């Protein structure tokens, strides 16, 4: 569906305003959205969580291209998110050295609310 100039302008304005407004409202989501690498981590974590699929830290980091974020940046982002209780690291059932990453209940709740509002705003 092609978009006209007014539609593109309106959507662009919404996206700009949404980012600024919701940075205050959704603190956990904003933590991940502050960088492209963080955004990709958030989307992949939630994707796997809602499919009920395990996601290991190493696997998650490999999913983000090095041209977007360095391994060190991603590890730091994940470790800080764990310390802030946004994410939970769990030992794998088979290999305790492998750590699975899952979102905290507060992150899940906030993400669902943010996503609902994000989609509602675009489809108005």
Dist. CA 16–CA 8, nearest whole Å: 12
Three-state secondary-structure class, residue 56: strand
pTM value is: 0.88
Domain residue limits, the chain: 5-122
Q: What CATH number belongs to 5-122?
A: 1.10.10.10
pLDDT digits 0-9 by tens, 28-87: 999 999 999 999 999 999 999 999 999 999 999 999 999 999 999 999 999 999 999 999
Dist. CA 35–CA 59, nearest whole Å: 19
Dist. CA 84–CA 64, nearest whole Å: 22
The full 3-state SS of 71-109, as one line of letters, equals: HHHHHHHHHHHHHCCCEEEEECCCCCCCEEEEECHHHHH
90 beta partners: 100
């Amino acid at each position: 569906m092609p978009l006209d100039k007014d539609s593109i302008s309106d959507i662009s304005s919404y996206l700009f305003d949404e980012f600024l407004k919701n940075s205050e409202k959704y603190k956990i989501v904003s933590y991940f959205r502050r960088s492209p690498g963080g955004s990709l981590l958030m989307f992949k974590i939630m994707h796997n969580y809602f499919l009920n699929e395990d996601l290991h830290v190493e696997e998650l980091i490999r999913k983000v291209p090095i041209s977007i974020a360095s391994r060190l940046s991603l590890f730091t982002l994940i470790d800080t998110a764990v310390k802030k209780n946004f994410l939970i690291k769990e030992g794998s059932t088979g290999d305790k050295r492998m750590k699975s990453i899952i979102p905290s209940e507060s992150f899940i709740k906030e993400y669902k609310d943010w996503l609902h509002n994000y989609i509602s705003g675009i489809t108005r």
